Amino acid sequence: MAVTATTVAETCAAAKRAARTLGSAPTEAKNAALEATARLLEERTAEILEANAADLADERAAGLSAALKDRLTLTPERVAAMAEGVRAVAALADPVGEELERKTLESGIDLRKLRVPLGVIAVVYEARPNVTIDCAALTIKSGNAIVLRGSSYAERSNGALAAIVREALAEAGLPEDAVVLLAGGGHEELAELATQEGLVDLLIPRGGEGLKEAIKAVATVPVMYAAAGNCHVYVDAGADLEMARQIAINAKVQRPGVCNAAETLLIDAAVAPEFVPAILGELAAAGVELVGDERVRELAGEVEVGAATAEDWDREYLELKLAVAVVDGVEEAIEHVNAHGTGHSEAIVSGDAEAAEEFVAGVDAAAVYVNASTRFTDGFLYGMGAEIGNSTQKLHARGPIGMRELTTFKYVAHGDGQVRG
């Protein structure tokens, strides 16, 4: 069983004990646990899919949106991708013990700044069972223990996956309790987890604004929010319109239920008469529900476009719905993005290098793209092996949360008897 303790406090205490061992474990042992995890994922794909099918058939999943059901669903290909991600993490350099800085002080003391694990990471997440594996892989390699708390409607899937990781840890001679899973209880359990001072070193919630606000109200442990993604694509006056078409479609349609999908399309007034009717037609044909400002609706022709409300510009739809606006130049686009975006991922399509640099410099976001889709904000695609989420904060970590974002540092000083006068 992945859940080894009866209370949140006991679970966190078990993880804390395991963290002390894992934090000093050799790279070879950690990599062995990861390789065993990848192997067991492949060997037990049928078992994992059976657990996932039971979750999907459960009444708790009946009310989920299409996007959330897609997040919950596992396929052989998605399980294989999990195994690939685990092996990618294993192949990366071990961050623990990395020397960040070294100098000799005037006293003769040799001072080194070394990267060390944070300790116990708690992650609260919704729907996506692959997060169980991604988080476990990253924390194992970075020497941290992890307390996982997934959604109740993914309970069987998460349980099967966490059990595999725990078996792999034991096989490698590492403590099973380096990965523990809470069963996904109610708000009381969430509040208890968020107040485990002295046991939990960092809490990372992955979910919507409701989850974020619930944790903000009670947390006494440090929190790093893997927050919502209200992402924009801006088509500049200098854009290659065929490129803009491909990027806009990809950013919205390729996988609409994820945080790096575009939720708003901004189109420069200079190209709007040509671009708006064409792109709206293609988006509508792909099943996208469209809302827009007055200028967009006037250019829509026969394509049905609802009137965008003030709330639409701030919505993370996570479904096939898109808000569209016409703006007068890059400066207005920047103002719109900064007023309504969540600081996640923003894109400009432009052949004008000056306009692109103005957008890059002016937009306040963790990731900014020039002539590329927002869908690339992903720890795996960034070469991190996997990610725990995407931070839209500015302190400690910003953007994809990988291994190095799960570490801190300590100063280690070696002397030969120095005392301070």
Q: Would you state the structure tokens that stand for residue 60, as one six-digit string?
A: 């708790």
User: Do 246 and 191 fall within a single domain?
Assistant: no
User: Do 64 and 182 fall within a single domain?
Assistant: yes
User: Do 243 and 366 fall within a single domain?
Assistant: yes
User: Do 209 and 302 fall within a single domain?
Assistant: no
Residue 2 covered by a domain: no
Residue 272 covered by a domain: yes
User: Do 289 and 246 fall within a single domain?
Assistant: yes
User: Do 216 and 347 fall within a single domain?
Assistant: no
Residue 185 has pLDDT above 70, yes or no: no
Find out whether 180 and 15 touch, Cβ atoms under 8 Å. Answer: yes
pLDDT at 2: 46
pLDDT at 188: 84
Burial (Cβ within 10 Å: 0-12, 13-18, ≥19) of residue 106: exposed
Opening angle at CA 226, ends 44 and 198, nearest 5:
85
What are the pLDDT digits (tens) for 380-409? 899 888 888 889 888 888 999 999 999 999
What are the pLDDT digits (tens) for 342-359? 999 999 999 999 999 999
Q: How many domains does the chain have?
A: 2
Averaged over 352-380, what is the pLDDT?
Answer: 96
Find out whether 230 and 341 touch, Cβ atoms under 8 Å. Answer: yes
Rounded Cα gap, residues 25 and 256, in angstroms: 40
- Predicted TM-score (pTM) of the model is 0.85
The enclosing domain of 283 has a CATH number of 3.40.309.10
Averaged over 68-85, what is the pLDDT?
Answer: 93
Averaged over 58-80, what is the pLDDT?
Answer: 89
Domain around 250: 231-376
User: Do 159 and 15 fall within a single domain?
Assistant: yes
Residue 235 covered by a domain: yes
Residue 421 covered by a domain: no
